[in-house]
Amino acid sequence: MPLQPERADKSYNNLKQHTMLGNIKFHNPTKLYFGKDSLRYLAKELQNYGPTVMLSYGGGSIKCNGIYDQVMQALREAGKTVIEDSGVTPNPTVEKLREGARRARQNAVDLILAVGGGSTIDYAKGVSASAYCDEDPWEKYYVHQENPTCKIIPVGNVLTMVGTGSEMNAGSVITNHAVHLKIGKVFGTQLMPHFAILNPEFTYSVPQYQMVAGFFDIMSHILEQYCSGTDDNTSDYIAEGLMRSLIASTRVAAKHPRDYEARSNIMWTATWALNTLIKCGKTQDWMVHMIGQSVGAYTDATHGMTLSAVSLPYYRHLLDAGLAKFRRLAVNVWNVVEEGKTDRQIAEEGLKAMEEWMKEIGVVLHLSELGVKPEMFDGIADGAFICEGGYKKLDHAEIVQILKESM
């Protein structure tokens, strides 16, 4: 989940704190259980919490694929009182957040167990911070980007869709349709899930469209951190390895969704793409996410597809400003041959290779496919917060131009 600037007339300047590797603090307390048998560890984790568990999930797919029954069995065997909290939407709303916070507080919930994808886990973190908050959580956390000063309810999760990395980070994105804003808040480590159950087989029932949208979300997370800075940074080498693994595995999974090796590699890559590791020592960009989230606030489109639709126009807009890094991306990730080409030709060929991969896995390349209309451009640009960590600080007119080129 990207860092999100305050809703005010200023940019998120602390994205520019580091230009070289140094002054790093890394702390991620989330305990991971990964593999086909990972759910058996849920019973052990439940012993660490009080008697009342709020089970948060989406539209009911976990009841169709059997995951709900397995989780409920573990909860019953642990003697837990279960408060069901269903109906979390793919872009969780502020209304649902307030409803969940009331329910958690009224039932004195000891643990929020999110079973689902990133949206469900994002929502659970928001509820965790909001249940005992005496202020409006939308204003406090998402608009003003303040941190919790109240009691926090622990969060755990059973992951059923990969992409967001929410299972091992402190991010929470909430949509307010009334004001056309979709805002992310990165809480501190106290809001990182206490544990995450990652079974790649639990992702098999995700529809192809949602699956490949998650694939691009992973790529976008890595690029947002990679496409910044000019120093020789270890984090960039890690990012390149993650991208190469992702490309290889998604090519397999797009054709063979039940290929366990491919799906497990993708799940593991997604988690490490956004658990704060590869941001160490880095400035970060996040403008693709800012624009994509603003598109989502207007269209409620699938998050990963909003990112795929704007990424190529955005990176082509940045090409000259970040030419050295885009050249490196082309050579080290997309295997572009350097001989006889200028740096710009190499960089352009790298973005073309990325476009071909995007077509191959089947993601959206145009905003028009997501319901965006030209009359939305100014509003979307207004709702896209300006970050300064990338190679170029955009203005309103540049965002509108990128939106036009994304159509």
Residue by residue, pLDDT tens for the chain (407 residues) are 443 433 333 333 333 333 455 678 899 999 999 999 999 999 999 999 999 999 999 988 899 899 999 999 999 999 999 999 999 999 999 999 999 999 999 999 999 999 999 999 999 999 999 999 999 999 999 999 999 999 999 999 999 999 999 999 999 999 999 999 999 999 999 999 999 999 999 999 999 999 999 999 999 999 999 999 999 999 999 999 999 999 999 999 999 999 999 999 999 999 999 999 999 999 999 999 999 999 999 999 999 999 999 999 999 999 999 999 999 999 999 999 999 999 999 999 999 999 999 999 999 999 999 999 999 999 999 999 999 999 999 999 999 999 999 99
Domains of the chain: 13-18+27-202 (3.40.50.1970), 208-405 (1.20.1090.10)
Total length of the chain:
407
| The model's pTM | 0.93
Distances (CA, A) of 153 to 31, 101, 145, 148, 232: 17, 10, 19, 11, 40
Tell me how far apart the alpha carbons of residues 126 and 191 are, in angstroms, rounded to a whole number. Answer: 9
Query: What pLDDT shows up at residue 5?
Result: 38
Among residues 5, 35, 3, the alpha carbon closest in space to that of 271 is found at 35
Which tokens sit at 292? Answer: 């994509």
CB 134 within 8 A of CB 179: no
Query: What pLDDT shows up at residue 17?
Result: 35
